[in-house]
Structure 1
Amino acid sequence: MPLSSLSKSLLFLHPKRPFHMANRTTPRARLRGVVFDMDGTLTVPAIDFAAMYKAVLGDDEFRRIKAENPCGIDILHHIENWNPDKQLKAYETIADYERQGLDRLQIMPGAAELCGFLDSKKMRRGLITRNVKASVDLFHQRFGMKFQPALSREFRPYKPDPAPLLHICSAWEVLPNEVMMVGDSLKDDVVCGKRAGAFTCLLDETGRYDSPDYAAVNLKPDFKVSSLAEVHSLLEEHFDLAP
């Protein structure tokens, strides 16, 4: 059966777990919940991460680390071993950029509609972010959407460690392979999902992950979309949505 144009744009094949198109002879995988990243996924990107990293690391160190890490800089892990005074200053800088981002917080187009669709199917929805709990609380309050559990940076270890996603699966009493992780970061969201054993969907609005810089990355998402609106069709086409 030929792939539809939509499926071609969404589907990535993983070498260790090829994902076959659902048809009359291949049953669709059961999906019981969806876990979302927040910044850049449920909300419009509002933090200038490059400027934040430069402020924390300095220009020279930022360029060096960026050249060594084409998938992006993991600033939280990078500063974990700094001396306490230097680390405290780094956290204060990060927190300042995050506060500025809160002032500009906007819901991502398609997020409300996607959550409404999941609610109509009685599907669980959770949230994992490397931002602080205050940001999650503001998100819930401002946009009237509730994700449960909603794990912030205070939960350790944080993404890309699979621990937060496994914690949510345990709270839901479901298997990791019955859950999908949706996020805009290959190094955080996709790696977290893959390590946990969940399905993964990468939100890539601008096509940045089509760059040759990412061609050699071992872990690929099961799906890749350019908007949250595409996730609705993806779920209906490829999964048996069972609460």
Structure 2
Amino acid sequence: MTEMFKGVTAIAFDLDGTLVDSVPDLTVACAESLQEQGLPRCSEASVRSWVGNGAEMLIRRALAWALDDQPSEMQVSEALSAFKRHYEANLTGNSRLYPGVSDTLTRLGERGYRLALITNKPYQFVPPLLESLGIDAHFEVVFGGDSLPEKKPSPLPLLHLCQQWQLPPQQLLMVGDSRNDVDAAHAAKAASVALTYGYNHGEPVEDSQPSLVLDNFETLLAYLPAKTEETIQND
């Protein structure tokens, strides 16, 4: 198992559905924004099937459900503005780390891996959420969905990270829970790990053909041994 990612020296993580279950707080913000538009409130189960492509797509899906039709751009703009306001006010109320996340991030850092966060969530929400969960110090670099001109499934965030860290993509591992993460890794020619417990619109994440599929976050440790200085230089 420890040979599978032998050349990897850096790991990029997705956030929602990978490190944290944020759907309870996203649901509150989404439901409140719909209610402001005079529309029915959505359920947590529905939001779980809508998340994964950034805030705007979440709102487009919520409006399409509530209207039983495609929303106008004005409706999207108004609902998105309301959503951001409500989400900022309810950012950390019920969001929780998945089991083993904090300890695993700590141990990966101790093993010599450089850690980054690449999420499609708007950047304004990311630092306060990471800080509230106590995992902000693990990441050298954090990209939100609006940090660069393109977001996942575009490979741009991964390639930009590789350029910033002066790494070939073959030394980067993308860890996420959805097709967006795996497709971005494929396009960047990086390895990928897909976690089965996250948000992938009801589609089995293994259908995206990641390098490895895991049911538990802490199992990553079995595939990522300590990186010695000599190993890093040889890679």
Q: Give the alignment's TM-score, normalised by structure 1.
A: 0.67
Confirm or deny that 1:189 pairs with 2:185: no
SS in 2 for 1:180: strand
Distance 2:206 2:17 in 1: 24
Q: CA deviation at 1:71?
A: 10
In the other structure, the counterpart of 1:4 is: none
| Percent identical residues | 19
Distance 1:144 1:215 in 2: 25
Deviations 1:90-146, CA, capped at 9 Å, x for gaps: 422542564435322322221221111122122110001111223221133220432
- Find 1:86's aligned residue among 75, 78, 83: 75
> CA 1:193–1:49 in 2, change beyond 3 Å: closer, same or farther?
farther
Confirm or deny that 1:233 pairs with 2:226: no
> CA 1:48–1:106 in 2, change beyond 3 Å: closer, same or farther?
closer
- Give 2:153's aligned amino acid: P
In the other structure, the counterpart of 2:84 is: 95
Mapping 1:32-71, distance limit 5 Å: 32-47=9-24, 52=30, 55=34
- Give 2:193's aligned amino acid: C
Question: Conserved in 2, the CA contact under 8 Å of 1:202 and 1:223?
Answer: yes
> CA 1:44–1:162 in 2, change beyond 3 Å: closer, same or farther?
same
Distance 1:216 1:44 in 2: 20
SS in 2 for 1:35: strand
Structure 1 unaligned segments of length 5 or more: list them. Answer: 1-6, 8-20, 60-65
Q: CA deviation at 1:242?
A: 3.0
In the other structure, the counterpart of 1:180 is: 173
- Find 2:7's aligned residue among 5, 9, 30: 30
Question: Conserved in 2, the CA contact under 8 Å of 1:47 and 1:98?
Answer: no
Choose between structure 1 and 2 for higher RCO, CA contacts under 8 A separated by at least 6 residues: 1
Distance 1:230 1:216 in 2: 16
Structure 2 unaligned segments of length 5 or more: list them. Answer: 41-45, 61-70
Question: Conserved in 2, the CA contact under 8 Å of 1:127 and 1:150?
Answer: yes
Distance 1:223 1:130 in 2: 22
Q: CA deviation at 1:236?
A: 2.8
Deviations 1:7-63, CA, capped at 9 Å, x for gaps: 6xxxxxxxxxxxxx84xxxx963111000011121212434778959959x89xxxx
- Find 1:224's aligned residue among 200, 213, 218: 213
SS in 2 for 1:157: coil
Question: Conserved in 1, the CA contact under 8 Å of 2:25 and 2:94?
Answer: no
Q: CA deviation at 1:214?
A: 4.2
166-175 or 136-145, larger mean C-alpha shift: 136-145
Aligned length: 203
Q: Give the alignment's TM-score, normalised by structure 2.
A: 0.69
- Find 2:136's aligned residue among 131, 145, 157: 145
- Find 2:110's aligned residue among 120, 128, 131: 120
> CA 1:110–1:221 in 2, change beyond 3 Å: closer, same or farther?
same
RMSD: 3.8
> CA 1:233–1:28 in 2, change beyond 3 Å: closer, same or farther?
closer
